[in-house]
Structure 1
Amino acid sequence: MTAEDLQPYQRIVRDVKDQIRLGRLKVNDKLPSTRELADHYGVAPGTVQRALAELRTEGVVYSHQGRGSFVRESALDAVADPTSQAIKRLEETVAELTERLERLEAGQNERR
């Protein structure tokens, strides 16, 4: 789906997720204000509010009244593509297996 096929709020959602995925936005970073985002994307503030609501629903951001919206700690999991998620699971499995192997080898060395 191209950017032209998306609703304006969906473009904002996708862009924020991409910025998180690329590391431009990190956990607890504050997003620009609604007004700044509206100006940046050339949309009405209500469109930005709809995008922020979607991002909150998906667990990507959290908001504090009067303070703004911030990147949630679980955002990386929420924005990860399936390939990245699979790689992360494989890395975790390899780390667990390595730890188990080291424990087994240490146990055998103690018996010698």
Structure 2
Amino acid sequence: MTRPTQPTGPVQPYMRVVLDIQQRIRTGQLAADDKLPSARELSAEFGVATGTIQRAFGQLKADGWIYSHQGLGSYVRGIPGDVAPETVSTLTRLSDLEQRVRALEDELRQLRGKSA
């Protein structure tokens, strides 16, 4: 995965927030499933309007860095492209279950075919 290059010219206020939060995630200051500060708190920290923070959150969500739960806040998803070992384990179990279900469905079709 290529890392975004740091802009050389003026940066939109929302992008300053995006880049800062991405950097916090990359350096481990924020880890997967950590709750982000509220829009109001970040607004005060960056000296921008809460709408600017919301726009930054929208960009971070679209890029896969964070996720939100209505009424609970926004949380770190992680660095896009990184897959946690427990996710791989879960996906492996799901794949195994899917294969078992298909085998059972095939067996059921065969049994129904014999009784017809």
**Cα RMSD over matched residues?**
1.5
Aligned residues with identical type, % of pairs: 50
Q: Which segments of 5 or more consecutive residues in structure 2 lack a partner in the other structure?
A: 1-6, 83-116
Q: Secondary structure at the match of 2:68?
A: strand
Tell me the TM-score normalized by structure 2: 0.62
Q: Secondary structure at the match of 1:77?
A: coil
Q: Which segments of 5 or more consecutive residues in structure 1 lack a partner in the other structure?
A: 81-112
- Aligned length, in residue pairs: 76
Equivalent of 2:80 in 77, 81, 91 = 77
Higher helix share: 1
Q: Deviations over 1:5-41 (max 9, x none)?
A: 1100000000000000000000000000010000000
Q: What amino acid is the match of 1:77?
A: P
Q: Deviations over 1:52-94 (max 9, x none)?
A: 000000000000111100001xx2235x8xxxxxxxxxxxxxx
Tell me the TM-score normalized by structure 1: 0.64
Structure exhibiting the larger radius of gyration computed from Cα positions: 2
2:60 paired residue number: 55
1:11 paired residue number: 16
Residue 70 (structure 2) pairs with residue 65 (structure 1): yes
